[in-house]
Amino acid sequence: MFEIRAIRKAYADAPKIVDEMADVFTLAMRLHKPGGHSPAADREYRLRKAVLLDRVALSKGKPWAPEAAADAEWAAEEAAVTFTSADRLDGTAAGPMTPENARQQGAYRDYVRQEYARWLADQ
């Protein structure tokens, strides 16, 4: 499982949570427009939604989202499972943790953090 240092590193260069919310909303809207779907766009949306929910769950108790914190852990885990499962079905396996490893270890959110750090590095 990811340590606190690894989690901080995964999100060190991430935008502010409110900016991430806006980006996830924009991605969702693009997916509903003609020509908006592509494997890359669908994966980015699943990834960034899982990241957003993970970050909200990690920041539970923050004054800006007390209502969201109540179900944040559950929502973050569900989004991470969805993302990891889609990668597993699509055959995405970059490593060092693969979707199959994440499934076997129950480390879905760790996989999301790994993939987000990789995605940020490619931006």
What does the pLDDT look like over 82-113, one tens digit per residue?
A: 999 999 988 876 778 888 888 889 899 999 99
Which residue's structure tokens are 């994966």? 43
Angle, CA 75 vertex, CA 70 and CA 76 arms, to 5°? 105
Residue-number span of the structural domain to which 115 is assigned: 4-122
The domain total for the chain is 1
Q: How confident is the model at residue 67 (pLDDT cuts 50, 70, 90)?
A: low
The predicted pLDDT at position 70 comes to: 67
Residues 28-49 have a mean pLDDT of 92
Q: What is the reported pLDDT for 122? A: 87
Average pLDDT over all residues of the chain: 86
CA–CA distance, 114 with 17 (Å, rounded to integer)? 18
pLDDT value at position 116? 93
